[in-house]
Amino acid sequence: MTTTPVATSAPRSSGATAPSARRDLRARRQVLTTSVMGLALLVVVLHAVVGILPDAPVVWVLTPDRLVLLVGLAAGLVAAPSPREWATWLDLPIVLLVAASAASAVASGQEWPVWRALLTGVMTCYLAVGLMRRHPSSWTLVTGSALVACAVTGLTALHQWADDVPTGFCRAGLAAGRELCSDPDAMVRVTGTFGNPNVLAAALVLLLPVAWAGATSLPTSSARLVGYAVVVLGYVAVLLTWSRAGVAAAVVGATVLVLLRPGWSRRVSTAVAAAVVIGGVLVVGGSLGVRRDVWGAALRVMAGHPLGVGPGRSGAVIDQQVPGPERFRHAHDLWLSWTLEGGWLAGAAVVALTLGAVWLVRRGVRSGSTVARVAGAGLAGFAVMSLVDHPANTTGIATLLWLLLGLVAGVGKAGVGKTGVRESRSVAPPRP
Q: Is the distance from CB of 345 to CB of 96 less than 8 angstroms? A: yes
Integer Cα distance of 96 and 84 in angstroms: 19
Indicate the residue type of 61.
Answer: V
**How would DSSP label each residue in 363-405?**
HHHHTT-HHHHHHHHHHHHHHHHHTT--GGGSHHHHHHHHHHH
- Number of H helices and E strands in the chain, helices first, is 15, 4
Per-residue pLDDT of the chain (432 residues; tens, 9 = 90+): 445 554 444 455 455 577 787 777 777 888 888 899 999 999 999 999 999 999 999 999 999 999 999 999 999 998 888 888 899 999 999 999 999 999 999 999 988 999 999 999 999 999 999 999 888 888 999 999 999 999 999 999 999 999 989 998 988 755 555 567 776 667 889 999 999 999 999 999 999 999 999 999 999 999 999 999 999 999 999 999 999 889 989 999 998 898 888 766 666 566 656 666 666 666 565 557 788 899 999 999 999 999 999 999 999 999 999 888 888 999 999 999 999 999 999 999 999 999 999 999 989 988 889 999 999 999 999 999 998 999 999 999 999 999 999 999 998 554 343 444 433 333 333 333
Integer Cα distance of 276 and 273 in angstroms: 5
DSSP state of 220: S
Residue 13: left if φ>0, alpha if ψ -120 to 50, beta else—which one? alpha
Give the per-residue pLDDT at 268.
57
Integer Cα distance of 178 and 199 in angstroms: 20
By CB atoms closer than 10 A (0-12, 13-18, 19+), residue 153 is buried
Chain centroid to CA 300: 31
Give the per-residue pLDDT at 423.
36
Opening angle at CA 407, ends 97 and 417, nearest 5: 150
Q: Measured in Å, how far apart are the chain's first and last C-alpha atoms?
A: 53
Give the per-residue pLDDT at 424.
36
Give the per-residue pLDDT at 418.
41
